[in-house]
Amino acid sequence: MLLAPEISVLGEDPPSVHRLNAYAYQQSAITSFGGFQYVAFYSRDGSSDARLVTIARRKLQEEPANWRPVTFTDYEQTTDDGHNTISIGICRGDGTIHIAFDHHCDVLKYRVSRPGLATDPDEEAWSTESFGPIRDTLPGSSTNEPLVDVTYPRFLSTDDKMFFECRIGKAGAGSDVLYLYDTTGQFKLIGTYLIGRKCNPYPNGISWYRPTHTLHVTWTNRHFIEYEGATNPESVAHKAQAGPNGPENNEGLYYAYSSDYGRTWNSPSTKEEVATVSSKPDTGLDSRDRRLLGQEIPKNSGIMNQEGQMVCREGDIHVLNRENTSGEERWIHYHLDPTYGWNISTLPFLKPTETGPRGKVVQHAQSDSILFVLPSNTDSNLVIVRAARGNTQKWYDEYDVVWKEEGYNGEPLVDEEAVSEHGILTIFTTRAQGGKNEVVVLDFDLSKLQHD
pLDDT, tens digit (0-9, with 9 covering 90-100), for 224-234:
877 665 555 66
Q: How far is CA 340 from CA 158, 165, 335, 343, in A?
A: 28, 31, 10, 8
Query: Concatenated DSSP letters for 29-48?
Result: SEEEETTEEEEEEEEE-TTS
Helix (H, G, I), strand (E, B) or coil at 118: helix
Cα-based angle 212, 216, 217 (whole degrees, multiple of 5): 180
3-class secondary structure per residue, 266-298 = ECCCCCCEEEECCCCCCCCEECCCHHHEEECCC
> What's the pLDDT tens digit per position in 366-375?
788 999 999 9
For the stretch 342-374, what's the b/e string if a residue is b when 16 or more beta carbons lie within 10 angstroms of its beta carbon? beebebeebbbebebbbbbbbbbbebebbbbbb
Mind listing the pLDDT tens digit for each residue in 377-389? Answer: 999 999 999 999 9
**In the predicted structure, residue 314 carries a pLDDT above the cut 80:** yes
**What pLDDT digit, counting tens, does each position of 129-165 carry?**
999 999 999 999 877 899 999 999 999 999 999 999 9
Contact of 286 with 255, CB cutoff 8 Å: no
Give the distance between the most distant pair of CA atoms in the chain: 61
- CATH 3.40.1190.10 assigned to domain 6-227+247-448? The reply is no
Q: Fill in the amino acid letter for 406.
A: E
Q: What is the mean pLDDT of residues 25-39?
A: 95
Rounded Cα gap, residues 203 and 174, in angstroms? 12
Burial of 170 (0-12, 13-18, 19+ CB in 10 A): buried
Instruction: Report d(CA 326, CA 123) in Å as an integer.
Output: 55
Domain boundaries of the chain, sorted by first residue:
6-227+247-448
Q: Which residues of 145-169 are buried (b: 16+ CB within 10 A; e: fewer)?
A: eebebbbbbbbbbbeebbbbbbbeb
Q: Are 335 and 389 in contact (CB under 8 A)?
A: no
Phi and psi torsions of 129, nearest 5°: -65, -20
In angstroms, rounded to a whole number, what is the distance separating the alpha carbons of residues 107 and 98? 17
Mean pLDDT of 439-444: 97
Q: Are strands 187-195 and 285-286 parallel, antiparallel or unpaired?
A: parallel
Cβ neighbourhood burial of 69 (10 Å; 0-12, 13-18, 19+)? middle
13 has a pLDDT exceeding 90:
yes
CB neighbourhood size of 280 (10 A): 9
pLDDT of residue 321: 97
pLDDT band of residue 269 (cuts 50, 70, 90) is: confident
Instruction: Give the pLDDT score at 100.
Output: 98
Q: How far apart are CA 43 and CA 55, in angstroms?
A: 9
47/96 Cα distance (integer angstroms):
32
pLDDT digit string, tens, across residues 42-84 = 998 776 778 999 999 999 988 889 999 999 999 999 999 999 9
Tell which residue, 342, 212, 210, has the closest CA to residue 268: 342
